[in-house]
Structure 1
C-alpha cells in the first residue's frame, strides 16, 4: 500500500512539474497557432531569454554583441525596451529601417515585440531578411518576459514625466564630484563604485519605480547599478540611457541651471470631448482610469462604443463587455473609418495598447475627423468578458 501511495504521489508531482513547465514564459513553445504559422512560413529561428541577455553585453548601445530590434509602436518602445534596442515598428518599417543602412548584412539581429502572441516581430524579421540581412533571429517571448526578469531602457519622455510627477526614484550613477557639479534635479547620488557602501539609500519597497542614468549612451555605470538593483530583488528598474547629456540637449532643467526648467506639468484641468468623454494626457488617448472605472462597474456610457481592433480569434477568446470587433491592422484608413459606428464616441482597444494607438494614428494621418475617436492605452487580458485591465501611465506626449 505504501508503495502504491508513493507511486501515486510521484505521478501527481510529475504532473504538477509538467504543468509549471508548460506555463513557464521561458518555454519556447508558447506562440499562438497564428503567430507560429508566420514563424514557420518565414523559417525564423527563436532564441530565449538567456541567449538574448548574453547578447546585450554591458547594456550600452556600443557594447551589444547583436543588434536588438523592437518591432512595437514607437510609443511602446519609448516607455520601456530591452537595453541597447533600436526601434523598427512593423507599420513604419521603411521609415525606421534606415538605422541599419551602414550595418553589415551578416550582422546578428534579434527582433522582439510584445510577447508570444505578437506577430510584429516575425513580420519585421521577414522584412529584414528580404532586405538581405542573413542572420536574423526572434526573441519571441519579448518585452513582457524581459521586463519581469530584468531592467528596461526608457526614453527621455519617461524620465521627464517621472521627474515632473515625482513618480520614480532618479539615481545618478556617475562619480559624486560630477553629481555635485550638475545633475537632474531631484536625483540622488549612488556612484556605481559605491553601491555596496550606499545601498541603504535604495528604496525600502522593492516595487518602487527606479530610473538610473549616467553620462550618456556609451556610459555603462547606470547599467551596473541597474544590474545590482535587479540582483537585490527590485522589480521596476529602468535605465535612462541618454543620461544627463540627452537631458541637457533637450533644454531641460538641471541643478546647475537653477530652476530654468522648460519641463512643465500638464494642466490639471480635465479635458472633455464634445460628447462628454474624459481625455488622457497623451494625444488621442482616453483617460484610462476614467474609462476603466466604468468597465469595472459594467456601466460604460451609452455614447461610447469600444472597438476591439484585434484579430477575430483573439476577440473570440475574450474582450471587454459591449465591445465590437473591427480588425484594423489590414484595413486602410478609409475602410476602417467606414466600418466605425456613426454618432458614437469611439474608443479603440487591443491587448497592450499598441494596435489601438496604430488604428488611431492611421485615421489621424489620413486626415479623418478624430475629435470623437480615441485609443485606450492599457494592458487588457480577458477570458470571455471577464477582464483584468492595467492602465498604462500617461506620458503627456
Structure 2
C-alpha cells in the first residue's frame, strides 16, 4: 500500500521544524482560524453524506502509528510534496488531483474498511472530494477529519518522508535518534544519529538534549516498525516539543543511497572454507547470535511447512497481531513483560522463534531473556520485515545479517 513520489523541488525543513508546538500567546496575526467547514466544504460534505471525526478519534484510529498497527486507513488528500513534508502517522497519499494515479493502493483494501480522509484544514476541499470519490467506488465506511493536518501537528508529532529527512540531514537542523536495538545501530545507522532504543529510553535519557525545543527525528526499521513511534511518544512525555518520525527509516535511507555509518574499510576477500550449517532440533541457525536462518525459515513459512516442533511466537501487540500474522503463530506481547514472565508464557518442549514486523522487537525479546541468564538454547528470533494479511498470507523480506 506504500506509494511515495519524491519531488526534488520541495522545501521541507522549514515546514516540519515547527514540530507539534502551538502559536505563542500574544503573537499578532491577521489570519482567521476556522473551527468549522467553509461553505464550499460544507456543501461537499452534505453532497457525499460524510461524517466528520475529531482529533481524539483520529488519535485512537492510528493505533501505534504504523500502517499495520492502525485501526483505520488514513488518507492524506494533499499534493504529494506536502504529504512527504509532514503528515499524520500511518497515512497514505491520494491527492485529489491525481486520484487515478494513486488509487491502486486500495486495490486490496476491503470495501468496508474504515477510511479517514484529511487534508489542509477546515477550508480544504480536497478531503471531501477524495472521500466522495471513494464512496462512489464502493467503499462504505468513509469519514473525514476535516480539521486535518494543521490541527494534528499543533497537538502531536508528524510523520515525514525521505525528502524531508534528507533536507534535515543536509542542513543539520535536527537530532536524529535511532530507536532500533543496539546491535542494529552498531551495524549501520544514519551518520550522527544518537542511539535511543525505545526499550531503553528511561536509562538513556541523560543523553537527551537539555533544550526541550530541540528538533528531533526518530526512526527505526521502516514503515512496519513501531519503535520510532514509541520513542516519539516517550519524548513527548519528557516535554520535547518538536518531534518528527521518519517512517521509512534506515532501510529506506540505505536503499536510496544515502550516507550511512556502515561503510568503513573494505573487507579483504580471503578464501575460506564454507561455514557448516548449524541446526538446533532441525531448525537452521542464522549468522547472528540467536537468529534463525532467515531465507530457510521464510521458505518454510511460504510453503506452510513449519515443523511441528517449532512454536511461532509473535511479540507484537494484540491489535497488530489481529491485523494479520504468520499462520499458526501465537501472540505474546514481549514488550510488556519482564524476562521471567515472558519465559513463563513461552510454549514448553519446542523451539521458540520470535517474530514481529521488522525484526527489532523480536531481537529485543531474545536479548531480554539472554541478559536475564535464562536458557535461550532453544529460543531464536526471525530478523525480517513481515506483512501478513488475515488469511495468513505473508510478504516477507529477510534482513541482512548484522555480523
TM-score normalised by the shorter chain: which range applies? 0.5 to 0.7
Equivalent residue in structure 1 for 2:401, among 366, 373, 394: 394
**What is aligned with 1:377?**
383
Pairwise CA RMSD: 3.5
1:287 aligns with 2:395: no
Counterpart CA distance in 1 for 2:204 and 2:326 is: 33
Partner of 1:395, secondary structure, is: coil
- Aligned equivalent of 1:127: 234
Residues of 2 paired with 1:93 and 1:331: CA distance?
Answer: 16
- The gaps in structure 1 that reach 5 residues or longer are 1-11, 30-35, 58-62, 164-184, 187-258
How far did 1:357 drift?
0.3
On the 8 A contact 1:42/1:126 being kept in 2, the answer is no
Secondary structure of the 2:221 match is: coil
> How far 1:64 moved relative to its partner?
2.0
Map 1:9-158 to 2 at 5 A.
Answer: 15-19=99-103, 43-57=156-170, 64-100=172-208, 104-155=211-262
CA distance in 2, matches of 1:291, 1:77: 24
Partners of 1:374 and 1:311 in 2: CA distance = 19
Give the unaligned 5+ runs of structure 2. 1-95, 108-116, 120-148
Structure 2 match to 1:363: 369
Deviations 1:247-292 (A, max 9, x none): xxxxxxxxxxxx9xxxx9797122222x232211211111122222
Show the 5 A alignment for 1:260-279: 268-273=275-280, 275-279=281-285
1:115-140, CA deviations, whole angstroms, 9 ceiling, x for partnerless residues? 44543223323333444544333334
Q: Deviations over 1:19-62 (max 9, x none)?
A: 16889xxx999xxxxxx9xx9997224444333211112xxxxx
Report the Cα offset of residue 331 of structure 1. Answer: 1.7
C-alpha separation between the residues in 1 aligned to 2:105 and 2:393? Answer: 26
Query: 2:224·2:357 contact (CA, 8 Å) conserved in 1?
Result: no
* CA contact 2:318–2:331 (8 Å) conserved in 1: yes
Selected match of 2:306 from 278, 300, 319: 300
Distance 2:250 2:354 in 1: 22
What are the superposed Cα offsets for residues 125-170 of structure 1, whole Å, 9 maximum, x if unpaired? 33334445443333344335434544251347xx57x83xxxxxxx
Residue 305 of structure 1 deviates from its aligned partner by: 1.2
In 2, Cα distance between equivalents of 1:136 and 1:266 = 49
Contact 1:348 1:360 in 2 (8 A): yes
State which drifts further: 277-286 or 134-143: 134-143
Bigger helix share: 1
State the TM-score, normalized to the length of structure 1.
Answer: 0.58
**Alignment coverage as a number of residue pairs:** 267
Q: Whose RCO is larger (CA < 8 A, sep 6+)?
A: 2
